[in-house]
Homo-oligomer: A and B are copies of this chain.
């Protein structure tokens, strides 16, 4: 087959865009040999043209006008790297309407508009790819979509946010406080000045929506994902968890039981010898239980200029091959099967870690245990520490429950947190 050269237009020449632009310039030829498909950078759009100059891009290729990039007849594939919801959504829809294929790393946009965007791409006979939107350098979407295609996935657990994982690793290994760990992450470039999307779990939820929709062949609503972040985790929690044989991780969890889904993001206690316990620092990993492949795990860097560039180039090559071979639409980004019900968090059955903050007086543990018992919650183990010198100074009581219902837990904690001897709201962490 005669090799055609496909024109690429990159919108947004920031951290990731710069990586893609440089890679297309630097390794276009070697890629063409290896992948048997030729890509050529035809246009770069950025509101700041000096950025492109610094990247060493031919000035004739640079524009500040994304619309003109999309309209350029030499551009076959548009790479959207401006992030955010608007105008990214509108630019991508415009690109589709002009017959352009699109690659994006925009997880927020895909999480919110996957169905609309995929249908628009299909209508216009073009492709949409977004491998870079989940776990950067790990080809996880391809693995789930193609490699594990024959499997019914029953359970998937992901560490999909490098910032939160870095902070929790620092709290565990470096015994730092949350605040000190966050400051360290910011200093090292693993956390942004406003880290809320990462530490409050929303970024993980965006990725979980994409992963869960993929493996469950349904459109999981972002709003149906229960989300809790790591901002309330203290170094005490990390230390007590360790004493009990667990590690705290921010997990993106997707279960299926029958046709009911259970999708949530929250700090989770996992056993120290579980394979995800060793995923440290800014690394990501996704653990997948398929009904025939069994357990597989995919590990790597979830963000950063170069890992993300690796995923974007793979998408570009996939699309270019489909154009070259006339096989556009060969692999659908999602399979939109019937909508599946999502379990309410109150109906969850789980084991729980509870840390109570109480005054150090006889009978407090008894009161707590009585309330738990009345709510059908049975206790697996207790850590009651140190007697305070001042009996008015709050002390922690930590316990692990056997499996029980979250609804019962909420009722119990409402009563417990109302006790005169309890001085702060109880910290609850689910166990997986």
Contact = CB atoms under 8 A, between A and B. Distances in A.
Residue among A147, A300, A330 with the highest chain B CB neighbour number at 10 A: A147
A335 B31 CA distance: 11
Contacts of A292: 19, 23, 137, 306-307, 309-310, 313
Q: How many copies does the complex hold?
A: 2
B300 A150 contact: no
A310 B290 contact: yes
- By secondary structure, the A interface counts as mixed
Contacts of A297: 297-300
A123 interface: no
A374 interface: no
Given A142-B142, A301-B295, A327 B329 contact: no
Residue among A31, A131, A139, A143 with the highest chain B CB neighbour number at 10 A: A139
B150 A142 contact: no
A149 B330 contact: no
A309 B313 CA distance: 30
Interface in A131-186: 131, 136-139, 142-143, 146-152
Nearest to A151: B310
A105 B146 CA distance: 18
A174 to B, nearest CB: 15
Interface stretch (A94-102, A241-249, A315-323, A346-354): A315-323
B327 A330 contact: yes
A326 B326 contact: yes
Residue among A34, A152, A326, A329 with the highest chain B CB neighbour number at 10 A: A34
A400 B300 CA distance: 31
Contacts of A426: none
Contacts of A278: 275, 278
A87 interface: no
Interface size class for chain A?
35 or more
A147 B151 contact: no
A1 interface: yes
Nearest to A284: B296
A337 interface: yes
A35 to B, nearest CB: 5
Given A31-B150, A36-B332, A142-B146, A296 B298 contact: yes
Contacts of A325: 325-327, 329-330
A293 interface: yes
Given A149-B313, A325-B327, A137 B296 contact: yes
A314 interface: yes
B314 A148 contact: yes
7 contacts: A23-B292, A36-B335, A146-B317, A293-B300, A294-B306, A296-B298, A297-B297
Given A139-B143, A321-B331, 13 more contacts: A1-B329, A19-B292, A23-B150, A34-B149, A34-B335, A142-B143, A148-B310, A150-B310, A150-B314, A275-B299, A297-B299, A297-B300, A321-B327
